[in-house]
Chains A and B, each alone.
Chain A
């Protein structure tokens, strides 16, 4: 509010901005939890396609996939709306920020830029991914493997995987910072944990992809 908008109405006290911040944080946390859970579920294929199929079956039988899937889509969209408030949409803003990052050579500053960049890619890719998976239920290991082996989806996932993981990893660290859980004292510890977590999930993801690549498509069904 400033002196020109104050003329429009008697200023009401509002808690909106605080609530939006909390919502953004909650949407972020839920998405983190989702992505990690999702990663673990998919990577169950490493143990064996049977395990993954069983889990998928469970989610579909309970309609968690059919309902949960779109809900996650919605959550991503809501998260996008909330986070978009902070994104440098104006060229002047993005230019300023990029110049700033170059000047500062400061890792946490670069990380935010990475988060914005990954966000835009996720926005497109996550919805494509969800559309493809959810319009072709049931989820089975073989179907996924087929997409990767013959559908040309491997490069798609090789991009989405690290991008999603870094977005989430950075987000996790920054939520901690913003809300004072990560303090000056334990910042380095958390940072190391964050890298380990990010790296760990990317490795698990890659192993999963490899597993899909070499999964025989006609056995086990």
Chain B
């Protein structure tokens, strides 16, 4: 062990008129079990206290620390230096607004996306009756919803998406999977028509070009590829309702997903 790591970091402070985007090199001794979280903190503590980066949970659960690590978006806190070559190059995530150095504004981006797709359960919230037992649900369905709720909004899938890089208004895989989460949820009273209104366009499902970089980088292994496919097929079929025979649409719509009993 005990390599001397050469960590090259993108530096730019947009608020400083003197600052120009450039790469800066730091050298850090590697220890056992070292992660990029530790390495970057050593750099900040010992070399440059002005270095900007975002960490919060440092356990891969909060999604703060997405950055481009040797060309691939990933979570810095759960990247171990021993899995990387001696020369490590770090960039901030593209697509999102740069705050400074490695820090980007994913929060505002996701909030905006959430507003566009109306990311909440659409039901009558006031109808909640504290004296009644909860509406029942199959455990398998609950697990399936949770599977999509695990997204930490780290933005890696967005930054890895060629479409999102070309087209700033593309909602990206995480948002589409979020809609899929509500589509699965029987508590959400929206129908297919309603979902079509929010993502049935080139900023949504039809904008995706199937590059699958999202699927390949997602640190939480959210089933993005499958959900993108299911949603696209479902909404594409919806758009040709009345043109294609109904039986055919029904047959194609539910292939490979658990939405059989879903309202349409």
Contacts and interface: CB of A to CB of B under 8 A. Distances in A.
A and B touch in the complex (CB under 8 A): yes
Interface of A: 13, 15, 17-22, 25, 85-86, 88, 93, 96-97, 100-101, 103-106, 108-109, 111-112, 174-175, 177-184, 187
Interface in B112-162: 160, 162
Given A177-B210, A180-B226, A184-B223, 7 more contacts: A18-B201, A96-B165, A104-B71, A109-B211, A109-B213, A178-B229, A179-B232
Given A17-B206, A100-B162, A112-B162, A180 B232 contact: yes
A103 B162 contact: no
B63 to A, nearest CB: 20
Interface stretch (B30-38, B46-54, B236-244): B236-244
Nearest to B207: A86
A178 B113 CA distance: 21
Contacts of A88: 166
B212 A177 contact: yes
A187 B232 contact: no
Contact of A18 (B72, B206, B208, B226): B206
A178 B210 CA distance: 5
Nearest to A99: B165
A97 B162 contact: yes
25 contacts: A15-B238, A17-B202, A18-B201, A18-B239, A18-B240, A19-B239, A22-B239, A96-B165, A97-B165, A97-B166, A100-B165, A105-B71, A106-B211, A108-B212, A108-B216, A109-B213, A112-B209, A177-B210, A178-B209, A178-B229, A180-B226, A180-B228, A180-B233, A183-B256, A187-B225
A16 to B, nearest CB: 8
A118 B238 CA distance: 32
Given A96-B165, A180-B232, A17 B201 contact: yes
Contact of B240 (A19, A175, A180): A19
Given A17-B200, A18-B200, A179 B211 contact: no
Given A15-B239, A100-B94, A108 B206 contact: no
A104 B91 CA distance: 12
Interface residues of B, number: 39
Nearest to A11: B197
A85 B210 CA distance: 15
Contact of B166 (A93, A177, A179): A93
B211 A112 contact: yes
A167 to B, nearest CB: 14
Contacts of B160: 104, 106
A134 B160 CA distance: 44
The CB with the most chain A CB atoms within 10 A, among B94, B166, B215, is that of B166
The CB with the most chain A CB atoms within 10 A, among B201, B206, B243, B256, is that of B206
Contacts of A18: 196, 200-201, 206, 235-236, 238-240
Contacts of B230: 180
Contacts of A182: 229
B194 to A, nearest CB: 11
Nearest to A1: B201
Given A15-B196, A15-B200, A180-B232, A108 B211 contact: yes
B68 interface: yes
A178 B208 CA distance: 8
Contacts of A174: 209-210
A50 B130 CA distance: 83
Contacts of A103: 68, 71
- 10 cross-chain pairs, A with B, having the tightest CB-CB distances, nearest first: A180-B229, A18-B239, A177-B210, A15-B239, A178-B210, A93-B166, A21-B206, A174-B210, A17-B201, A108-B212
Interface in B176-211: 196-197, 200-202, 206, 208-211
Nearest to A16: B239
A185 to B, nearest CB: 8
A181 B165 CA distance: 26
A180 B253 CA distance: 10
Contacts of B235: 18
A86 B232 CA distance: 16
A101 B68 CA distance: 13
Contact of B236 (A21, A106, A181): A21
A183 B71 contact: no
Given A17-B200, A178-B232, A187-B225, A109 B240 contact: no
A96 B216 contact: no
A177 B197 contact: no
Contacts of B229: 177-183
